[in-house]
């Protein structure tokens, strides 16, 4: 059986990490790489990754790479919103490539873009390919893992889950979108103006959980509060004086008939240890039986995202055509051997 041929579209922090991991695996080959970043386009992939890579250049123009017959699967790691990645998905699907994207909204695009989700499903079916959105969150911690936990429940009354994480490893974009280093007043203005967005993905995680459990949410209410530091905090990209904002506590409540049935909390901040905040992922299900899951420290977001996208390759290659979500496919597992061993021989 031939190696699985993969195109990596977007070679930033996540895409380049995934490319490196793929190159170290048997059974797969990278046949194309696309990025329009000044420092990456036109350069050999291996050089950009800092390793002995395959003999291919990173192309800025997808037209030369996204061509029917050239690859089995495209990994898209360019942006967060369904509207931003739609054209890339359309192009790859029309070139008969299966697709895994880590765009947060694509974890459950029907939540906020039901029309686009329908179109993507149709497009995938017309071209006999599978499209999946995944990642650490959305994609796993605050949705897939919760859904799997409820599999041992006869009744579920409500769900609360909390992901407390450390933003210190992330760059300037994340600092801006989380409001790190602002004053509380600037934070409030940023939230109102939509420049401070907090976590992207709560409606997607909520609707995925609800769809899996057969719930119909009437509303999803979100709040974003500043995490105001009492101590000096510093990372390579930001400094936070006492009294300034070290992160964003983003909370979402999903309701049915006025009752909150799903609460998801995601307080994210830099250097949490300086105020003795321990990171972790926590899931509490009130039901029969009740469930209390703690993962300490948090599952690391970067590695977790790269691994999840790569580990879902066999599931995506073997799924029926259409737009899928994590709740639709077989459970993920670390793929340690040759990916081809997990594929049904044709």
Shortest Cβ 99–ligand NAD spacing (Å):
14
How many CB atoms lie under 10 A from the CB of residue 257? 6
Q: Write down the least CB distance from residue 116 to ligand NAD, Å.
A: 17
| CA 109/CA 207 separation, integer angstroms | 9
Inter-residue contact 35 to 15 (CB < 8 Å): yes
- CB nearer to ligand NAD: give 138 or 254: 138
Q: How far is the CB of 119 from ligand NAD (least distance, A)?
A: 19
The alpha helices in 127-194, defined as continuous H runs, are 144-149, 172-178, 184-193
How far apart are CB 78 and ligand NAD at their closest, in Å? 4
Length of the chain: 346
Nearer to ligand NAD (CB atom), residue 8 or residue 261: 8
φ/ψ region of 181 (left if φ > 0, alpha if ψ in -120 to 50, else beta) reads: left
Q: Which is nearer to ligand NAD, 8 or 217 (CB)?
A: 8
What distance in Å separates the CA atoms of residue 134 and residue 238, rounded to the nearest whole number?
Answer: 29
Q: Cβ 86 to ligand NAD, closest distance in Å?
A: 11
**Least distance to ligand NAD, CB of residue 190, Å:** 17
Pick between residue 141 and residue 244 the one whose CB is nearest to ligand NAD.
141
Which residues contact ligand NAD (rule: CB under 6 A)? Answer: 10-15, 34-37, 77-80, 102, 104, 135-139, 305
Q: How many CA atoms lie within 13 A of 250 on its CB side?
A: 22
> Whole-angstrom Cα distance, residue 265 to residue 118?
29
Specify the residue, 72 or 104, whose C-beta has the smaller distance to ligand NAD: 104
Contact predicate 101/76, CB 8 Å: yes
Residue in the structure block whose two tokens are 């690391």: 300
Minimum separation from the CB atom of position 52 to ligand NAD (A): 21
Spatial separation of the C-alpha atoms in residues 311 and 131, rounded to whole Å? 15
Residue 195 Cβ, how far from ligand NAD at the closest point, in Å? 15
- CB closer to ligand NAD out of 156 and 299: 299
Of residues 332, 338, 276, 283, the one with CA closest to residue 309: 332
Closest residue by beta carbon to ligand NAD:
12
Q: Minimal CA–CA distance to 220: which of 194, 199, 239, 244? A: 199
Closest CA to 30 of 88, 70, 77, 62: 70
Q: Which is nearer to ligand NAD, 11 or 264 (CB)?
A: 11
Q: Residue 91 or 240: which CB sits closer to ligand NAD?
A: 91
Strand partners, 250: 224, 266
């Amino acid at each position: 059986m031939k190696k699985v041929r993969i195109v990596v579209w977007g070679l930033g922090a996540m895409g380049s990490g995934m490319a490196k991991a793929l190159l170290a695996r048997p059974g797969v080959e990278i046949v194309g790489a696309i990025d329009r970043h000044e420092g990456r386009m036109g350069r050999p992939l291996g050089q950009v990754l800092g390793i002995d890579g395959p003999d291919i250049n990173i192309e800025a123009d997808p037209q030369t790479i996204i061509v029917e017959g050239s690859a089995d699967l495209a990994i898209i790691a360019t942006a967060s919103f369904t509207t931003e990645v739609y054209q890339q998905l359309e192009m790859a699907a029309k070139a008969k490539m299966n697709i895994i994207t880590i765009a947060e909204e694509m974890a459950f695009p029907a939540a906020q873009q039901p029309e686009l989700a329908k179109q993507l499903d149709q497009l995938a079916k017309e071209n006999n390919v599978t499209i999946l959105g995944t990642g650490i969150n959305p994609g796993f911690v605050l949705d897939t893992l919760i859904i799997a936990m409820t599999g041992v429940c006869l009744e579920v009354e409500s769900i609360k889950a909390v992901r407390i994480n450390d933003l210190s490893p992330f760059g300037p974009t994340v600092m801006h979108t989380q409001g790190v280093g602002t004053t509380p007043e600037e934070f409030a203005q940023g939230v109102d103006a939509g420049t401070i967005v907090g976590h992207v993905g709560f409606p997607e995680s909520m609707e995925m959980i609800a769809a899996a459990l057969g719930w119909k949410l009437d509303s999803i209410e979100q709040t974003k509060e500043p995490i105001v530091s009492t101590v000096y905090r510093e990372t390579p990209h930001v400094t936070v004086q006492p009294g300034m904002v070290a992160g964003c506590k983003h909370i979402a409540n999903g309701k049915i008939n006025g009752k909150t049935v799903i609460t998801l909390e995601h307080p994210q901040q830099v250097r949490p240890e300086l105020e003795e905040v321990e990171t972790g992922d926590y899931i509490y299900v009130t039901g029969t039986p009740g469930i209390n899951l703690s993962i300490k420290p948090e599952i690391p977001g970067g590695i977790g995202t790269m691994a999840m996208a790569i580990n879902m390759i066999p599931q995506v290659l073997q799924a029926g055509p259409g737009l899928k979500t994590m709740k639709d496919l077989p459970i993920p597992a670390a793929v340690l051997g040759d990916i081809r061993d997990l594929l049904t021989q044709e």
